[in-house]
Amino acid sequence: MRPLRILLAGIEPHTAVDEAMRIMQQQRINDEILDTLILVQHPEVVTLGPKAKRDGALEDPALADYSTTIVDRGGGMTYHGPGQLVGYPIIKWQQDEKSVRSIINRIEDWVMAALTDCGIQGNRDERMMGVWLEGRKICSIGLAFKHWVSRHGLALNYNTNEGRIEALTCCGLDAGTTTSLAAIGHTHDLEGRLLNRARFEEALLVHAEEFLGRVPMKPEDWTPGLVA
């Protein structure tokens, strides 16, 4: 089984991590680094993929109240901010794994397994890829590939600032459709543990081998300046 390097970042600007991911994606293409998973939180920013322009999301008046940045991943408008765990898999997918839909489904299943560990039964929804709960979207997924090495990833909303993500038409969905676990009443797991970043990092790493097909290594502290 292939290893998976785990990089734990603190709260880092999206632009800095995005630039590091570009470098690391090329390094992975060249086999200079191992498959890598970055776990991070970003200061508040709204990222805008190509679909945001097609959906007319750039004309959303609510955007005037947010910092924005253009990205090249799949999908449209995605919120990042406090109370959200972001995971970026920089993985060289093997020949038998080369299906974008299959990779996205694996990431959805991975997140749903982590939620199940916390007593929450997430699901898919025909309206949009990602993970849903009680008719609301609580995890966004968007990837970019180069030579079958992935970049970008998932954003799991566990306790985002009240009303901030709900005000946006994320990925073309109606405002209020995308939300956080806390906003719909899920704040603790079955053992009474707070559903925070540490709890979901733990749950994701427990299930990484099963769903990503790679064995997590001991997590390392990381900042975007350390790209190797």
CA 3 → CA 125, 142, 215, distances in Å? 32, 23, 5
Nearest alpha-carbon partner for 156 in 137, 138, 177: 138
Q: Among residues 190, 197, 187, 207, which one has the least CA distance to residue 114?
A: 207
Structure tokens given for 154? 């998932």
Q: How far apart are CA 133 and CA 34, in angstroms?
A: 34
171 classed as catalytic = yes
What is the Cα–Cα distance from 106 to 197, expressed in whole angstroms?
21
| Annotated catalytic residue within 118, 139, 170, 171 | 171
Positions marked active-site: 171
